[in-house]
Structure 1
Amino acid sequence: MQRGASVIKIIKNANIYSPENVGAADVLVAGGKIAAVGKNIEASFEGANIEVIDASGKLMIPGLIDRHVHITGGGGEAGFASRTPEIRFSDISASGITTVVGLLGTDGSARNVEQLYAKACALEHEGISTYILTGSYGCPSITITGCVKKDMMFIDKVVGVKIAVSDHRSPHVTKEELTRLAADARVAGMLSGKRGFVHMHMGDGKAGLDMVSGIIRDGDVPIAQFSPTHVNRSSRLFESALEFAKMGGVIDITSSMDGGGDTIRASEAARLALESGVSPENITMSSDSNGSIPEYDDKGRLKSIGVAGIDSMRTELCDMVKNHSIPVETALKFVTSNPARAIGAGHKKGKIANGYDADIVIVDEDFNVEMVMAKGEKLVESGKCVKKGFFE
C-alpha cells in the first residue's frame, strides 16, 4: 500500500475533467487508486479513517504529466559554472505535476544515466511517479548497461532513448544511425512491454525533420517510434512538425518557449496545430524544466543563458483555455492522457477513472493549484506544499 494511502478519501462535488468533462461528481480514493467515480458516494469501512474533502465549485483534473524534465539539471553551454541545478520535489508538486520523465541534455560527459536513475528513484520515494530516458544528445548513446536495448529491457524506469537532431550541438547522426536506434528502441520495447521510443531534441538546423520523414517514407520503422520535442522552436521547424503530426506522429510542444525571437509560444502553437487539422490526440506538451535556455547569435556564439521553469506547463494550460478558446477537455489531453499514452503509462496515468492511480489535482477556474494528490497521498493542500523533499 502506498504511504499515506491508509486513509480513505472521498472528494465531493468537484467538476471533474477526466480529461473528458464528467460533470459534478465524487471520487473515492483507496489504496493509492481511484476506487469509484460517481454521484453521492458514501463509504463506511470498519476501522478505516475516512477523510471527506469538499471541492464544490472547483475543477478536478488528472495530475499533470511532464515528459521532458532535466531532473538532475542540464546546461553547461557557458562552462561548468552554467550547469543548471537539480529540480526540487516541491517545485514539481506545487505545479500540479505528479509524473515526470527525467532525461539528460547537452552534457552527457559530466552527467550520466546512473545519476539520472538515482534522482528519479529519490523523487519517487518522496512521492511522485518517475520514468527516465537513456542516452543524451550524443551518438553512440550513453547508457547504464552499455547497450540501449538492455537499458530499456532490464532497467525498470527506462522507457525510451534520447538523442539530438538537427542542432549545432547534436552528433549529426546519419539516416542509417537514426534508423538503427529507432529499430533497437522498438525491439527493446516489444520485448519488455514498454513504449520503446526515440525522443528527439529538435534544434533549428536546416534539415529539420527531413531525415525522420525519409526514414518513415523509405523504411519499415513505424512513425510512432519517433518523438520530436521543442517543435515550437521556430516557425520553419513547426511547419514540418505539423506535417509529421498529420502523418500520424506525436509532436511535443515546449511550454517554456515564450514566443521570443522566432519561437512560438506553446499555447499559440497548440491552437495553430489544431487549426491546421492536427488531431488533438497527436499533441503533447512538456516543460524542459531545469534545462538551460541558451541564445546564440547568427555566428553560433552564445549571447545569454537562462533556466526553464516547471510551472510553465500549468501556465500554458490556462492560456490555451482562457486566451485561445481551446476547450478544457482538449487542452488537458496535451498534459495528461496524451503524454501518459506516449510513455506507455496510459493504462494507469492521465485520467480520473476507476482503477487509475489516484493522481488528482484540484484547481480554481484560473488553474491555480489548490490541492495535489499523488497515488492517494496529499502533496499540496490549500495551495501550500504539505510534503517536502528529503532536504527541503
Structure 2
Amino acid sequence: MEFRKIKISNGQVITPYRIIPGGTVLIEGGKILAVSEYDIPVSDAQEIDARGQYVAPGFIDLHIHGGGGSDFMDGDVEAFLSVAEKHVQYGTTSMVPTTLSSDTASLLDAVRLYDKAHARNTRGSEFLGIHLEGPYFAMNQRGAQDPRYIRNPDPAEYKAVLESTRSVVRWSAAPELPGSLEFGRYLTGRGILAAIAHTDAIYEEVLEALECGYTHATHLYSAMSGVTRKNAFRYAGAIESAFLLDEMTVEIIADGIHLPPPLLKLVYKIKGADKTALITDAMRAAGMPPGESILGALHNGLKVIVEDNVAKLPDRSSFAGSVATADLLVRNMVQLADVPLIDAVKMITSTPAAIMNVADRKGSLAAGKDADIVIFDADINMDMVIVGGRLLYRAQHQKQLHEAGR
C-alpha cells in the first residue's frame, strides 16, 4: 500500500539519543517530514496509531545471502526479489546482498543479476549494493565456503568484475594473502568497503591491511584467527586486532549460536554500539522450517541441515550459515546480552548506515531521511514495516491472510 502522506502517532519513537514517549513521525513522498514529541496536526494523511509500540528506523542488514528458500547465488532475478520480500517481514528495510566464493563467471553473473533485480525491487527490502564475500580467502579459514573456488587476489579478475558494474559496495578478503594489500588499495580508490574475512592474519598483518583500506571485520569470530603460537611465541590474531584497532568496525552474527551470550557481551563492551553492526548472514533457509537445505546456488551449492536454529554441515562438524532474521538479532542483544534497546537498535540502523556511507539518508528517524520505519512490540515482533514511505508489511493483514488459508 502506498500513501502520499502518513502520520504515525502514539509511539515510543527511538532516536540515536533517546526514546520519545507518545511521539509522532510524519512522512510524505517517501521521506520523513518531521519527528516530534508532540502531536502534529495534519490533514489528508493516512494515520497509523502505534498503540504505544516502538517506532524505529528500518533495520539495515550489511551481510545476507538468502531467505525464504532463495539465495543470491541461484542465478535468477526472482531469487533476489524473493529474499528481499521475505526479510522485509522481519524489519529489514535495506540490505546488501552477498555472494559466496565462486568462479569468475558466477561473480560476473551475480553482479549482472543484481543490477536487474535492483531495478525491479519494489516489494521488499531496498538493495544498497552488492557484497562479494570471497573468493580471496585463507583455505584454513574457509568455513563453509567451497574450497574449489578459494584463491589469491587476481588483479585481472577483480578489475574485470568491478569494470562490469558500479553496484559493488563491499568486498571481503583475507588480508595476509599475496596481492591482498594491493587489492585493498584498489577497492578503497573506487570507494568500495574493504573488509577482512576468512583470515589467518596476525596483528601486524591486520594493522598493515588497515593502512591499505581494510577498515571493517566481517562476521567477527567466525572463520577468523585468534591468538596463535609460532615457535612457542604467541601472536594476536584477527579477532584481537579488531578489538585493539579503534578505527576498525566489526559486524557480528547475533543469533545466539554463532556467538553465545558471553561473546555478544564482550564485543559490545569493547567495541560499543557505534562500532558494531548486527548482521544475519542468513542463507536460504531463513524464515523456513528446519530440515535439509542448500548453502549457495541450487545447482551446485553445499548440502546442509538446519537444526537447533542454525545451518550445519551434514556431518555436523561445523556451522554452515545462519538462519537468523533481523528482529532476532535485536531481541538477542537485549535479552541475551543485556544491551539497552536504544543501543541494540543503533547496531542495526545508524551504525551500519555509517559503515556503508549512507547515513545521510538512512539509519535514523530525522527530517529529510528516507521513510524506512519499523513498528514493533516489547519483544521485537514486527507490527508494521515501511520502506521508502510504502507500507510493505502489516502483521494484522498477514494474520488475516493466514486465517483465510491464503
TM-score scaled to structure 1, two decimals? 0.75
Any stretches of 5+ residues in structure 2 without a counterpart?
Answer: 137-152, 228-236, 285-294, 296-303, 305-310
Would you say the 8 A contact 1:135–1:143 is kept in 2?
no
Give the equivalent residue in structure 2 for 1:233: 222
**What secondary structure is seen at the aligned counterpart in 1 of 2:282?**
coil
Is 1:103 the counterpart of 2:98? The answer is yes
C-alpha change, 1:354 and 1:142, in structure 2 (3 Å) is farther
Deviation, 1:281, is 1.2
Per-residue deviation, 1:251: 0.9
**Are residues 358 and 186 of structure 1, via their aligned partners in 2, closer, same or farther at CA, if it must alter by over 3 Å?**
same
CA, structure 1 residues 375+117, in 2 after alignment: closer, same or farther (shift >3 Å)?
farther
Structure 2 equivalent of residue 319 of structure 1: 332
Tell me how far apart the structure 1 counterparts of residues 121 and 156 of structure 2 sit (CA, whole Å): 23
2:278 maps to which of 263, 277, 285:
285
- Name the counterpart of 2:195: 199
Q: 2:35 matched to 1:14?
A: no
Whole-Å separation in 1 of the counterparts to 2:168 and 2:282: 19
1:359 paired residue number? 372
The one of 273, 276, 283 equivalent to 2:267 is 273
1:63: which partner in 2? 58
Deviates more, 1:207-216 or 1:56-65: 207-216
Whether the aligned pair in 2 keeps the contact of 1:284 and 1:334 (CA below 8 Å) is yes
Compute the displacement of 1:109 (Å): 5.0
Q: Which moved more, 1:375-384 or 1:92-101?
A: 375-384
**Aligned counterparts of 1:110 and 1:55: Cα–Cα separation in 2:** 48
Distance 2:25 2:7 in 1: 6
Q: Is the 8 A contact 2:251 2:277 kept in 1?
A: yes
Q: Which AA in structure 1 matches 2:212? A: V
Q: Which amino acid aligns with 2:39?
A: N
What residue in structure 2 maps to residue 79 of structure 1? none
Q: Deviations over 1:325-362 (max 9, x none)?
A: 21111111211111111111111111011111000000
Partner of 1:173: 177
Q: Does 1:125 align with 2:122?
A: yes
Residue aligning to 1:382: 395
State the match for 1:54 in structure 2: 49
Q: CA deviation at 1:385?
A: 5.1
Q: 1:221 to 1:199 in 2, by over 3 A?
A: closer
Q: Is the 8 A contact 1:37 1:354 kept in 2?
A: yes
- CA distance 1:385–1:360, change in 2 (3 Å): farther
Would you say 1:146 and 2:180 are equivalent positions? no
How far residue 283 of structure 1 moved from its aligned partner, in angstroms, is 0.8
Report the Cα distance in structure 1 between the residues aligned to 2:363 and 2:157, rounded to whole angstroms: 28
Q: Which amino acid aligns with 1:140?
A: D
**C-alpha displacement of 1:129:** 1.6
Q: Name the CA distance, whole Å, in 2 between partners of 1:95 and 1:356.
A: 21
User: For 1:181 and 1:145, how far apart are their aligned partners in 2?
Assistant: 10
C-alpha distance in 2, partners of 1:115/1:232?
27
Corresponding residue of 1:162: 172
Tell whether the 8 Å contact from 1:19 to 1:333 is kept in structure 2 after alignment.
yes
Distance 1:141 1:124 in 2: 32
Structure-2 change in CA distance of 1:233 and 1:320 (3 Å): same
Q: Which SS does the other structure have where 1:111 is aligned?
A: helix
1:19/1:336 contact within 8 Å kept: no
Counterpart-to-counterpart distance in 1, 2:334 and 2:280: 18
Distance 1:142 1:329, change over 3 A: farther
* Residue 183, structure 1, aligned to residue 193, structure 2: no
The one-letter code sitting in structure 2 at the alignment partner of 1:181 is F
Distance (Å, rounded) in 2 between the aligned partners of 1:142 and 1:74: 24
Q: Deviations over 1:42-65 (max 9, x none)?
A: 113xxxx42110012100111110
- Given the superposition, is the C-alpha separation of residues 310 and 59 from structure 1 closer, same or farther in structure 2, using an over 3 Å criterion? same
Deviation at 1:70, TM superposition (A): 1.6
* Distance (whole Å) between structure 1 residues aligned to residue 121 and residue 196 of structure 2: 25
C-alpha deviations, 1:4-41, integer Å up to 9, x for none?
A: 55431100011011233241210001000100111111
Residue aligned with 2:182, SS: helix
Code of the residue aligned with 1:228 in structure 2: it is: A
RMSD: 3.5
Task: Select 1:341's aligned residue among 354, 363, 366.
Answer: 354
Query: Where does structure 1 lack aligned partners over 5 or more consecutive residues?
Result: 77-84, 167-171, 190-195
Partner of 2:253: 254
**Quick one: structure 1 residues 182 and 287, their matched pair in 2 at CA, closer, same or farther if it must change by over 3 Å?**
same
User: C-alpha displacement at 1:114, in angstroms?
Assistant: 3.5
Following superposition, the deviation at residue 364 of structure 1 comes to 0.2
CA distance in 1, matches of 2:39, 2:119: 38
**DSSP-derived class of the 2:345 partner:** helix
Pick one of 202, 211, 216 that aligns with 2:205.
Answer: 211
Report the count of equivalent residues: 339
Q: Does residue 36 of structure 2 align to residue 43 of structure 1?
A: no
With over 3 angstroms needed to count, the CA separation of the structure-2 counterparts of 1:134 and 1:88, relative to structure 1, is: closer
- State the alpha-carbon separation in 2 of the partners of residues 355 and 323 from structure 1: 35
Give 1:209 shift: 5.8
How far the C-alpha of 1:321 sits from its partner, in A, is: 1.2
Structure 1 counterpart of 2:221, which letter? N
Distance 1:235 1:6 in 2: 46
Distance 1:346 1:19 in 2: 12
Inter-partner Cα distance in structure 2 for 1:234 and 1:144:
22
CA distance in 1, matches of 2:130, 2:331: 27
**TM-score, scaled relative to structure 2:** 0.73
* Sequence identity percentage: 20
Residue aligned with 1:351, SS:
coil
